[in-house]
Amino acid sequence: CMRRQHLDHLALDQGRVDVHDDQALGPAVQPGRLHGHVDTGSSGLGRELGAEHLLLGGMLAILGLEMRNGRQSDGFALALLSVAAAAAAALWLYATGFQGAPFPDHFSVDQAAALPKAVLLALALPVLLISRDDFAETPYYTLVLASLYGACLVISSDSFPTLFLGIESMSLPVSALVV
């Protein structure tokens, strides 16, 4: 029995496992009473990304409409509605002083980011109105929404990868619009 115990310790020593027999295992202790609430840490994700979600929803609605019809359609109304709603959401975040970081150290929303988003999106509204007659039944509106999405991402970025992703999301649709 002593020899087996010695071999077991030898095997554990070779595997770099440190076991002490003299340490008593205490009973499991619960640090506090459970209250039944589970905090996932993403309770404000809808609010924090409100402007971005509305732009993304507009893009998906325009693409869905085109897929349903089987041809490119005029997405002016959907684009105008989603940009106006995104501008209102960003302005609301600014007015309420909302602060949050849905992706800590990568993406955050505060008053310093919400106001530029609101201004950018508000200035995009006249651009959409002016270009209404020139770009009917083209991918123009989807590309404009995608570019605005990237610009909003750049404004709220807190890290280089997020900044890079935002710049790419903003510039690729613009290059497609130019071609």
Instruction: Please report the pLDDT score of residue 102 as a whole number.
Output: 85
Q: Is 100 helix (H, G, I), strand (E, B) or coil?
A: strand
Instruction: Please report the pLDDT score of residue 35 as a whole number.
Output: 47
Question: CA-to-CA distance for 140 and 35, rounded, in angstroms?
Answer: 51
DSSP helix, strand, coil percent of the chain (3-state; round to 5): 65, 5, 30
Residue 108's closest CA among 170, 172, 47, 39?
Answer: 47
Residue-level pLDDT, tens digit, the chain, 179 residues: 555 555 555 555 555 555 555 555 566 555 555 444 434 444 455 667 788 899 999 999 998 988 888 777 778 999 999 999 999 999 999 999 888 888 888 988 888 999 999 999 999 999 999 988 888 767 889 999 999 999 999 999 999 999 999 999 999 998 988 87
* Structure-token match 């997020």, residue found: 162
pTM (2 d.p.): 0.71
Question: CA-to-CA distance for 118 and 108, rounded, in angstroms?
Answer: 15
Q: Is 126 helix (H, G, I), strand (E, B) or coil?
A: helix
